[in-house]
Structure 1
């Protein structure tokens, strides 16, 4: 059973709304700081959490997340710290996915990583640089350990690619709202809604939208048609501001509450 899919279905069926899915990088500004940030984000309204694995070549991440990831790496964060953070927030009841480029877990060992992720309480992986047709080794391991496999689609994806991704994914299909890297955007346009519709037609039950959502009105708009609204840079940016860490946490929580309100009122 998928923790993530069950959570999204529960929110859809019992509250009539989409899920707010929040991203934070592990180890920023420190491992302990990322634990505090993750707890604060869930308490402020995030339904599901994505924990990012810092990587030396984050080609799909925008400036805000690249900065945070680099700071985490320079601070000495390691892949195993992901499990520490998951354990520290497991009492809050929010499913946790790990967002990672494939290289770190490949070198760590797929079965070793999967086993330790299960033991920590994690739900699965989002692998932005891995396509289903190149992922059979990971798919086999994920199936063995009953973990979610979240793959991405984009506005440029063909119908064949959408069908392949929908069939391979478990948890949800991640619909990238636009071509390009992560980051906040002034507008999202209509391509995201069209992509969600096409992905559902290709066989996906649950489709969540990310890349660019940063304001309450955007969360409300995406929450009308998507099963989940994914937000990253808008949560990381307040943590990168000047001032004491408790003030930065409070600022991030304010952003989360506003976005959560947008998602919760989208279909009313």
Structure 2
């Protein structure tokens, strides 16, 4: 198990040693097509992201707002398959062996082809962690066993509505990091941060010493900085995905706009 955890652990401890929080980016694999997706991942790494969350395109992404739903749709319409997603990870790994890759996925995509086989294949390709949006830890026994068997990190979500006695239970099953969804509802850019963020982060901190990241709705450097004052990492998705949507058909414009945005947001992680 150590090898998988090392990339995730190393990313958070490296950020901490540099007086900042980790920057976690989200894009959907294969958006808008698999070739451009590789350029997008290269751009993210070059722009300084610490952890890459890759959405696995799915026809029913129920946790995602419109921006990320459309990204999954573009990926599927361009013909992206599960094999393509694994191949994308292998190509990234051939160029970069340090940035952790976490799949942001749904249970059916794993279960339908055999859970064990899926996790083994993801691990072999170079995936470090799995965030399964629709799988609560109470129902994750088989998933947790397979992840342990293949040295795959697990990430679970905590929501603003999660009661305090359940926070510890969820955190206990996360071997990679804990992801606090700072808003109820689906993914998407918001103008302001949640009022109870400080209080919720404090409650989660009391329950676990695992790295804690905060996401959903983050799009500006000030928001990144405010979150990084409190948490070990910040997740930005929709704002990054929008740079793809706004420049479809022009890979150079996608990577240039994304590079500018992400470099600016990453600068907001420096808090000490």
3-state SS in 1 of match to 2:54: strand
Alignment correspondent of 1:89:
92
Alignment of 1:66-145 (within 5 A): 66-90=69-93, 91-92=95-96, 93-145=98-150
Q: State the partner residue of 1:222.
A: 227
Partner of 1:247: 253
- Cα drift, residue 40 of structure 1: 0.4
Separation in structure 2 between the aligned mates of residue 29 and residue 49 of structure 1, nearest angstrom: 17
- 1:152 is paired with a residue whose SS is strand
Long gaps (5+) in structure 2? none
TM-score of the pair, normalised by structure 1: 0.96
Q: 8 Å contact 2:188–2:216 — kept in the other structure? A: yes
TM-score (normalizing by structure 2): 0.94
Q: How far did residue 64 of structure 1 move?
A: 0.8
Equivalent residues of 1:154, 1:195 under 8 A apart: no
Q: Deviations over 1:74-102 (max 9, x none)?
A: 11111222211111111222110111011
C-alpha separation in 2, matches of 1:56 and 1:103: 11
Tell me, in whole angstroms, the C-alpha distance in 2 between the residues paired with 1:136 and 1:257: 39
Q: CA RMSD in A?
A: 1.2
- Following superposition, the deviation at residue 194 of structure 1 comes to 2.1
What stretches of structure 1 of length at least 5 have no aligned partner? none
Change (3 A) 1:121 1:191: same
Provide the residue aligned with 2:40 in structure 1: 37
| Higher RCO (C-alpha under 8 Å, 6+ residues apart) | 2
Secondary structure of residue in 2 paired with 1:263: coil
The question of 1:11 aligning with 2:30 is answered: no
CA-CA distance at 1:189 after TM superposition: 2.6
Give the total of aligned pairs. Answer: 265
SS at match of 2:13: helix
SS of the equivalent of 1:151 reads strand
Alignment match, 1:257: 263
Q: CA deviation at 1:159?
A: 1.6
Assess if the C-alpha contact under 8 Å between 2:64 and 2:187 holds in 1: yes
- Per mean C-alpha deviation after superposition, the further-off stretch among 142-151 and 91-100 is 91-100
| d(CA) in 2 for partners of 1:238, 1:133 | 37
State the 1:10 CA deviation: 2.4
Match of 2:67 among 64, 70, 89: 64
- 1:246 and 1:225 map into 2 onto residues whose CA distance is 35
